[in-house]
Amino acid sequence: MEAVLGHLRGAIERGEYAIGDKLPSEAELCRTLEVSRPVLREALRALQTMGLTVSRTGKGTFVVADTVEEPTFGDYAAGDLLEVRRHVEIPVAGYAALRRTPEDLDHLTRLLNRMERETDTTAWVAMDTLFHLAVAEATQNPVFRRVIEEIRDALARQSAFLNELGGRREQSDREHRAIVEALIDGSERDATEAMTHHLDRVETTLTDILSRTAAPRPPAAATSFHRPTTPRQ
């Protein structure tokens, strides 16, 4: 799938498919690229996430941009989503370490055990969002849960993207395990550090995916998801 994505992205960036052009039909692309329809559809979804195409029901897939500015997950750009996650989920992990109940720990542990045994990506992604909701619930502050609920769809889309193209699942399980262990220990510092590491790896994988599937570019065009630390004027 990554090879198909790289091929289509390269064709768009080279102008073989110009902005406004309709991509060939799925059947035609499957024949040309010699891939199955599920593989092709995953690649087409990734193109949309990167902001290069848009799918119009009954009409097909159309090119809307020839360069990747920033992936989007649902209604949110990747950088905006990560910025909010850093400002919310890192302190949330710290509060959860201080306030979690035995019931919270039992729920998180059982959920994580299920995730580590799960082989279906769709089911794992659903549990991934439940995990982050459960950490927010462990703060005993319902506002934190509402914030995570608001971005839940975006988290699921991001998780699916990272797993399809970045093979993140096992690594994410290990990062989640470190978060749960810090909550069990009641260590605010360890919990915030574990969540920080988790989000750092999310950013690194996103950047790596875009780099791997891009057409060759000068080094100066490298992509980064870091946000400015000073307020916008």
Q: How many other C-beta atoms are found inside a 10 Å radius of the C-beta of residue 185?
A: 12
Q: What is the CATH number of the domain that holds 114?
A: 1.20.120.530
pLDDT at position 217: 52
> Taking CA 129 as the corner, what is the angle to CA 2 and CA 228, rounded to the nearest 5 degrees?
75
Length reported for the chain? 233
pLDDT at position 52: 86
Instruction: State if pTM tops 0.85.
Output: no
pLDDT at position 125: 93
For the chain, how many structural domains are there in total?
A: 2
Per-block mean pLDDT, blocks of 10 residues, the chain (233 long): 85 90 92 91 85 85 84 91 96 98 98 94 93 98 96 92 85 97 98 98 90 59 46 44
Evaluate whether residue 141 is within a structural domain.
Answer: yes
Evaluate whether residue 151 is within a structural domain.
Answer: yes
Q: Which domain holds residue 167?
A: 73-212
User: DSSP secondary-structure letter at 22?
Assistant: B
Q: Let me know whether 199 and 88 are in one domain.
A: yes
Q: What is the CATH number of the domain that holds 16?
A: 1.10.10.10
What whole-number distance in Å separates Cα of residue 113 and Cα of residue 106?
11
**Which residues, in sequence order, are CB contacts of 55 under 8 Å at separation 6+?**
44, 48, 61, 62
pLDDT at position 13: 86
Q: Let me know whether 96 and 203 are in one domain.
A: yes
Q: Let me know whether 26 and 49 are in one domain.
A: yes
What whole-number distance in Å separates Cα of residue 125 and Cα of residue 122?
5
> Taking CA 135 as the corner, what is the angle to CA 179 and CA 229, rounded to the nearest 5 degrees?
75
Cβ(44)–Cβ(38) below 8 Å: no
